[in-house]
Structure 1
Amino acid sequence: MPATDAPSDLRRWVNRTTFGVSPALLEEVTSAGWEGWVQSQLAPNDKADSDCLKRLKNLRLHIEYDVQPMTTAAAAGTKPMMTAKAAVKVNEDRPLKLLDQPLEKTFSMYGVNEVDYVEKSRAMEEVMMSALLRAVHSRWQVREMLVEFWHNHFNVNAEKDESVLLAMPAYDRDVIRAQALGNFRAMLQGVAQSAAMLFYLDGVESKASPANENFARELFELHTFGARNYLNHLCTKWREVPGALEGKPAGYIDQDVYEAARAFTGWTVENGNEDDDGVKRPNTGRFMVREAWHDPYQKRVLGVEFDSQRPALEDGLRVIDLVARHPATAHFISEKLCRRFVSDEPPETLVKKAAAEFTAALDAPDQIARVMKVILLSPEYRSAPATKFKRPLEFLAGYLRAVGADFAPRMDVVYQLDEMGQRLFRWPTPTGHPDSSGYWQSGTFLLRRWNLPLVLRDESWKGIAAFHFLTLTPADCTTAGQVLDHWSGRLLGGKVEGQSRAALLQVLMDDDDAKDDSEFSGDDKDRDARIGSCVALIAASPEFQYR
């Protein structure tokens, strides 16, 4: 291990690029060295994550609703008729069977009134549960952080309607997760052609005269160039954009949005409707092109002329090529990655280095991994202080990882995160959650955060998180001070001093006169509970809120 990789440095670096430090993770990165560990994280092998895969396989999520019986005629395909029979109740704990199910099978429930909405929302809930479990238990922590980043970057609100709900497992699995460390251009095309995004931004019905502009505008403003490169306040015609006449426009204007929207007309999905020839298509949610909906006439995007009568697929793909390869996109994406993994105001020197690698690796299948390597191994990353305020999921996962809890999430956890400001897969606008510390620091959000470790130990939450405080306390920790130092070391990487130490000792011993050398005695259940209360307070400390 390089001499510069001091334990305190390793802890700070790991804490910033994962969902939280654990003793096992620190041992792993200490053994491999920072560079070696980063290399392994950027080339994850799912087969080497057997513990997490086993937990996903064994996880059960409750589902409950009433089923109203239909007549025999209804079953044969005629108009449903309710019988006088009593409703049948579905009430079971079910595995996450939709996560790996093909899109066409899950999406077959779309528009089917006989399928209860609870069954449809299950698709979104399973994605939520897998994200929560992986954040805590996956070995490939950098990928999990990036999956969360890209879901935020290419945000869709799964609660918009059942079409987006049903598309979520495929969107997460085949688009975001598949390319989280891969190629940005490939991921951008996957997003543009996904049922989730096409339904969320209404592209699924976009046709000529007029085209729906929702996706085209977010493509420029949120997904590639960024609002900073919107130049319509300076110029309103493409020729006026600096560099446009040389084929290198500095930014985009409304004309680019309008023309790009025209290029995407006809991009839709199979949703049980008729195609251009009057043939009823299957209800699969798979991407398809309807040429009859496409605006075939001449277009100009970012100063590049599109000839008329080009196929709809080619027009849309050319727009994606143009925006994915533009220098403004390289800078915008790199800046967002640096903001997520380094600080709210990332160093411009690092952003430029990341953008240069983004551009150099435009066609590489591991483009994003290469950019992340530049960021994580940079001097700017290594020297940055712990100033990123943890999002609620990072706080939750970091606490559970630090204390070695067994975690089997339920929707109760999602509701807790909602109350702390993080709406998993349900942020209402395309912007995604804010990535600045201030948003997460309101009084209400903080109060919910500080109470969360105590809530997790409530009897009503039994089965969600199993804690082993006493079991994980070394046998040679026989005094209150030793026990406190062990657990503050696990959560904070060092000792707690001063008034905070005195207060924590009192909680740990349930004694106002507790001292460092007080014997940590009592029956096992009582000692375990006292450690849990003490650790919950450590988790509420300012030091634990940052990464």
Structure 2
Amino acid sequence: MIRAIDTDPASRKIRHPSLATPALHERVIEHAFSFAEWDYHPIFDCLEDRWSFHWEEKGRMRFESHQEKRYARAQREGQTPDFKQPPVQGFNPASSTALFNSQVITDPAFSTSLLTPPLSVIAYNRIAFGPRPGDIEAFDALGADDDSRLTAFVDQQLDPDSIDDSALDARLNTPDYSTLSKSLTELWTQHQLSSEWSTRIRPVKETAYAAYLRATHSERQLVEVLADFWHNHFSVYGWEDPANSVWVHYDRDVIRPHMLGNFRSMLEANAKSPAMLAYLDNFVSSGENPNENYARELLELHTLGSLNYFGSADPASVPKDANGVAIGYVEADVKAVARCLTGWSFRMWGDTPSNGEFVYRSSWHDDSEKQVLGQTFPPAQGDLVDGNQVLDLLAAHPGTAKSICQKLCRRFISDHPPESIVTSAAQVFQSHWQQPDQLKRVMRHILLSAEFRNTWGEKVKRPFETAVSAMRALRFDFALRINTDTSVWTASDQLEWVFQNSGQFPFTWAPPNGFPDKRATWQGSTPLVMGWRTANHLLEGPYQLEGEVDRTGLYTPVLADTLAAFPNPALRTPNNLASYWFERVLGYPPDTQQVSHVAAILDHSKHSPDQQDLDQPIDLGSNEWPTYWQSGLRAMVGLILMSPEFLQR
């Protein structure tokens, strides 16, 4: 790790518009060098006029970094440093500098308000994974005003069967995604019972790859946003046995059919799925040895939520509602629910047949009387009755309605959504808890609310959303393929590696609470830098891979799209190019200050001191020394992909 030292802190100029604080700027430079592995990167040209580094001066910069570490260590140990002047302060590797401290960036070198974008942009960044070229125009054609356009768009997305998604189907209807059509029995017998790890893990890998393709290319965008939400709500770590082999079933048959349907139905499908049963150990829970793992998460994460937890209190002390149902749960309820669900299992290894299907093992069930949320469950009620009664009780509970709707509003509106929308959505949720379109009604209520329309910038994109929204904006058109030859490293392997390093590869969150959904987790310097790496990889393309693709095989047609947008070479000025790509990526025009900051990466003065005009055209037909204009163009787009406007929701 290295860092550059500002030669004149008083005149510091932040050229990267997303770097809201000097400390974060320094940290990004540090990581940029680490990423570049001492190779040239166009971003260095953008920065070097204000910072005392040059990409070829490796030894000096490495020494400065070591000097700072030695100085800090000497201070901690109360010793006198062996050099006279301390290094420039402001970079604290132990801190997590915020990318967005407020709605307004206050750095004197880049002072601009993050204005609320058009409603079309808000809609596409929350109901979808960001706009593609043409999406904003299509939204604006849906009605005469914002209200009518939003209503039409929401109703369209809430009726996914009416949307033609054949182009996506064609992408997935290939041998690379052969497991997506297999039944649960086929997944279990052909993959889980295999001795080959690559065979057992193939279904989850295909589903993860498909998640990127679906989120990027599907016309049914709300479906994909909801799939991401519900996978995190009913979170299961997908990359271990047996979940890895049956993951197609979990995604296709457990999560997706119910996302706009009925929560009670989804809850039961989840409780009976081999992925969840194995992940939280309920598949071995019996009357003699009840396992509380699933029961605890069912109450704490899937339904009532921690806001309705009364700890180890006496159940009799918990207040009751008008129907005599406890308003919250205690430890005794966790134990009772675990007993109600004993015997819920699946046909596992050694069973005949061994096929992963749900099975109720009546001899394992605890048939004694139980008390759950103040309700008495009589003894010996019959097969599955105790468990189904628990699911009914939880699905109808006001606490579940509040907990679920709070999470939905947090996903679609704000980290701290107004209580008004949470309460009104919970009323819709509870009053329709037995209806087949319950969740569709809830989503329509949330997405058409004033709170949805009038809130912006209170969330940031998580790494999955950042990558997908970038791919949508850049017209990503690369076929992710499963590599079955472990002796060869392919472009798909490399892209998967980049996505994994971003911090949110699908189905890899090990705890049962799902990937965090608050900005505090994702707005620090590490997620920013990893997002920058992902964006640069999407723009620069795969490294040379023998026999498959050469270094010029890019994932995204940035150069081709730019040339098509500016057929007249005289119009290919840095300012024009920056304006075009800002509007292309964001969906709305930027202000002139933003344009000039980003256009500076294509500043002629870097190469010809007498040329300092951002309105002078550049030659995009060349990518030769000393200008590297094509690489500079891609680096400029990469900066836009790291701007606050792009990263906020």
TM-score normalized by the length of structure 1: 0.86
Q: Structure 2 CA distance, aligned partners of 1:42 and 1:397?
A: 21
In the alignment, does 2:192 pair up with 1:105?
no
Deviates most, 40-49 or 128-137: 40-49
Residue 522 to residue 243, structure 1, CA distance change in 2 (3 Å): closer
Q: Structure 1 CA distance, aligned partners of 2:290 and 2:604?
A: 68
Choose from 372, 378, 399 the match for 2:443.
372
SS of the aligned residue for 2:517 comes to coil
Residue 146 to residue 401, structure 1, CA distance change in 2 (3 Å): same
SS of the aligned residue for 1:288 comes to strand
Residue 358 to residue 507, structure 1, CA distance change in 2 (3 Å): same
Q: Conserved in 2, the CA contact under 8 Å of 1:454 and 1:536?
A: yes
Q: What are the ranges of 5 or more consecutive residues in structure 2 without an aligned counterpart?
A: 1-115, 143-148, 481-491
Q: Structure 2 CA distance, aligned partners of 1:464 and 1:153?
A: 35
Runs of 4+ in structure 1 off by over 6 angstroms are none
Shift of 1:403: 1.7
Who is 1:515 aligned against?
Answer: 613
The CA deviation string for residues 487-523 of structure 1, in whole angstroms up to 9 with x for no partner, is: 1101123444566533432334665345342124341
Choose from 560, 569, 583 the match for 1:489.
583
Residue 414 to residue 387, structure 1, CA distance change in 2 (3 Å): farther
The CA deviation string for residues 190-242 of structure 1, in whole angstroms up to 9 with x for no partner, is: 00000000000011111102311111110000000001101125x22x22210
Q: What are the ranges of 5 or more consecutive residues in structure 1 without an aligned counterpart?
A: 1-5, 59-93, 275-280
Who is 1:124 aligned against?
Answer: 204
Choose from 359, 362, 365 the match for 2:433.
362
Q: Structure 2 CA distance, aligned partners of 1:135 and 1:510?
A: 38
In the alignment, does 2:502 pair up with 1:412?
no
Who is 1:23 aligned against?
Answer: 133
Q: Structure 2 CA distance, aligned partners of 1:315 and 1:328?
A: 20
Q: Conserved in 1, the CA contact under 8 Å of 2:542 and 2:554?
A: no
Who is 1:91 aligned against?
Answer: none
Counterpart code for 2:177: L
Q: Conserved in 1, the CA contact under 8 Å of 2:291 and 2:338?
A: yes
Counterpart code for 1:339: R
Choose from 102, 110, 118 the match for 1:8.
118
Choose from 199, 217, 229 the match for 2:308.
229
Q: Structure 2 CA distance, aligned partners of 1:239 and 1:22?
A: 56
Counterpart code for 2:290: A
Counterpart code for 2:578: L
Q: Conserved in 1, the CA contact under 8 Å of 2:604 and 2:614?
A: no
Q: Structure 2 CA distance, aligned partners of 1:203 and 1:459?
A: 43
Who is 1:262 aligned against?
Answer: 339
Who is 1:505 aligned against?
Answer: 599
SS of the aligned residue for 1:465 comes to coil
Residue 192 to residue 510, structure 1, CA distance change in 2 (3 Å): farther
Structure ID, larger Rg: 2
Counterpart code for 1:42: L
1:401-480 alignment, distance < 5 Å: 401-409=472-480, 410-456=492-538, 457-460=540-543, 465-471=555-561, 473-475=564-566, 478-480=571-573
Shift of 1:417: 3.3
Counterpart code for 1:435: D
In the alignment, does 2:123 pair up with 1:43?
no
Who is 1:142 aligned against?
Answer: 222
SS of the aligned residue for 2:139 comes to helix
Shift of 1:542: 1.9
The CA deviation string for residues 273-292 of structure 1, in whole angstroms up to 9 with x for no partner, is: 34xxxxxx211101010101
Choose from 354, 376, 389 the match for 1:318.
389
Counterpart code for 2:414: S
SS of the aligned residue for 1:300 comes to strand
Shift of 1:304: 1.5
1:65-76 alignment, distance < 5 Å: none
Shift of 1:257: 1.0
1:523-542 alignment, distance < 5 Å: 523=621, 528-542=630-644
Residue 220 to residue 40, structure 1, CA distance change in 2 (3 Å): same
Q: Structure 2 CA distance, aligned partners of 1:162 and 1:110?
A: 10
Identity percentage of aligned residues: 35
Shift of 1:411: 4.5
Q: Conserved in 2, the CA contact under 8 Å of 1:262 and 1:294?
A: yes
In the alignment, does 2:379 pair up with 1:308?
yes
SS of the aligned residue for 2:181 comes to coil
The CA deviation string for residues 120-154 of structure 1, in whole angstroms up to 9 with x for no partner, is: 11111011011011111111111101100000000
The CA deviation string for residues 288-321 of structure 1, in whole angstroms up to 9 with x for no partner, is: 1010101111112111111111224111111001
Q: Conserved in 2, the CA contact under 8 Å of 1:110 and 1:163?
A: no
Q: Structure 2 CA distance, aligned partners of 1:413 and 1:372?
A: 33
Q: Structure 2 CA distance, aligned partners of 1:7 and 1:391?
A: 19
Q: Conserved in 1, the CA contact under 8 Å of 2:191 and 2:199?
A: no
Shift of 1:167: 1.6
Q: Conserved in 2, the CA contact under 8 Å of 1:508 and 1:533?
A: no
Q: Conserved in 2, the CA contact under 8 Å of 1:296 and 1:312?
A: no
Counterpart code for 1:491: V
Q: Structure 2 CA distance, aligned partners of 1:358 and 1:245?
A: 18
Residue 7 to residue 389, structure 1, CA distance change in 2 (3 Å): closer
Q: Structure 2 CA distance, aligned partners of 1:344 and 1:400?
A: 25
Q: Structure 2 CA distance, aligned partners of 1:471 and 1:245?
A: 63
Residue 239 to residue 7, structure 1, CA distance change in 2 (3 Å): closer
Q: Conserved in 2, the CA contact under 8 Å of 1:485 and 1:494?
A: no
Who is 1:253 aligned against?
Answer: 330
SS of the aligned residue for 1:345 comes to coil
Who is 2:412 aligned against?
Answer: 341
Shift of 1:244: 6.5
In the alignment, does 2:272 pair up with 1:193?
yes
Q: Structure 1 CA distance, aligned partners of 2:560 and 2:505?
A: 34
Choose from 447, 457, 472 the match for 1:386.
457
Who is 2:48 aligned against?
Answer: none
Q: Conserved in 2, the CA contact under 8 Å of 1:400 and 1:407?
A: no
Counterpart code for 1:474: A
Shift of 1:246: 4.7
SS of the aligned residue for 2:585 comes to helix
Deviates most, 357-366 or 414-423: 414-423
Counterpart code for 1:355: A
Q: Conserved in 2, the CA contact under 8 Å of 1:358 and 1:367?
A: yes
Q: Conserved in 1, the CA contact under 8 Å of 2:461 and 2:647?
A: yes
Q: Structure 2 CA distance, aligned partners of 1:483 and 1:42?
A: 37
Q: Structure 2 CA distance, aligned partners of 1:352 and 1:269?
A: 38
Counterpart code for 1:26: I
Who is 2:289 aligned against?
Answer: 210
Q: Conserved in 2, the CA contact under 8 Å of 1:502 and 1:515?
A: no
Q: Structure 2 CA distance, aligned partners of 1:46 and 1:393?
A: 27
Who is 1:353 aligned against?
Answer: 424
Q: Structure 1 CA distance, aligned partners of 2:323 and 2:435?
A: 27
Counterpart code for 1:450: W
Q: Conserved in 1, the CA contact under 8 Å of 2:192 and 2:245?
A: no
Q: Conserved in 2, the CA contact under 8 Å of 1:208 and 1:295?
A: yes
In the alignment, does 2:268 pair up with 1:166?
no
Q: Structure 2 CA distance, aligned partners of 1:464 and 1:431?
A: 37
Q: Conserved in 1, the CA contact under 8 Å of 2:333 and 2:373?
A: yes
Q: Structure 1 CA distance, aligned partners of 2:383 and 2:612?
A: 74
Q: Conserved in 1, the CA contact under 8 Å of 2:347 and 2:358?
A: yes
Residue 353 to residue 283, structure 1, CA distance change in 2 (3 Å): same
